[in-house]
Structure 1
Amino acid sequence: MYDTLYIEESLSKIIRMLADMNIQLKSIDNRLTSLEKKTNRQPLTEAETRFNLINTSLPIKTLQEITLFEDLITTNENAVLQFYVSGHLPKDNIYRVLTKVFDDSCAKQCSWKGRRNNFAVMKLKTINIIKDIICSSHAGVTDLDFESHGAEWFRFAKQRISRKGKNGQNP
């Protein structure tokens, strides 16, 4: 009776709601743990609470988590990305931030423009936020600079995974 598309859409909505609830529960758990450890400490500030909400979702390990994270930062007013950029070279900062946001296993399935049946990341809100932060932190960094460094980082994800495996680390 029910159309398969309707069922798939409903299931997708339920999964998104569950993921959002899971993120909120992790945030609450982190806050409680922090309060238990430091009973003399003052309550968490609003900025700390926001950072915990985002931080529990990172690094993103699957393509589904990308969609859920995008929904989180789009729909949840308490979710704010807070990346502190430090250092001299924009390329290093781009790599550092992308490493914190995307796990290599996820990055391996992505490419900047989505070529070769990969997930396209260039239009993600997360990427745009990172780009704005990097470009505003480093004078002279253009959108093209950011895109070329970002695309390069995603392109070498498979190589990073194989290097981790050879060094005896878990990929």
Structure 2
Amino acid sequence: FMSKEMLDVCQSYLNAANVDLKAFRDQTYRQFGGRLQPVLDSLKFMKSLGIWLEVTTVVIPGINDESGELEDIAGFIAEELGIDTPWHITRFFPAYRMEDVPPTPIETLYQARDIGLAAGLRYVYFGNFLEKGKQDTVCPNCGEVLIKRHGFKLLENKMLDNHCPSCGTLIPGIGLAD
């Protein structure tokens, strides 16, 4: 997270940020050396400054993968940051000090995606899992695929000045137009 003081200093240089929201339980943050509230406060403050936000949650089995916690994360994003805030649900793979934790089951990613969509989020993406269409940006009005991706590779961008070419809906974000 970034403190309000640091954000005040660099806000004129910061157009966008992708912030990790690792969990929605302070106990989980404390277990790994942090605290939840400063992250939430930082996200809300960045939003108030007009910084484009995207949120990433690495879903870790046994740590932050329960439905209630994912609902809390999705609810916070929708209510506090807005339904147009992208949520990147990222698959965990064992590494470093967590080699004994299994990879995130694919079903859990789909469950998290469904939770995000049910909370009203318009842009929910998979990370660390290549599933056709689950990294694409789709118009929330007409369903047109606007930006097609494969992993981090951009395959196609149909955006016209941040608008859907099919129905004219404004698609919020930064750097979306060709």
Shared fold, TM over 0.5 = no
Considering Cα pairs closer than 8 Å and 6+ residues apart, tell me whether 1 or 2 has the greater RCO: 1
Higher helix fraction (1 or 2): 1
Q: Which has a greater percent of strand?
A: 2
What TM-score comes out, normalization by structure 2 length?
0.27
Structure-1-length-normalised TM-score: 0.28
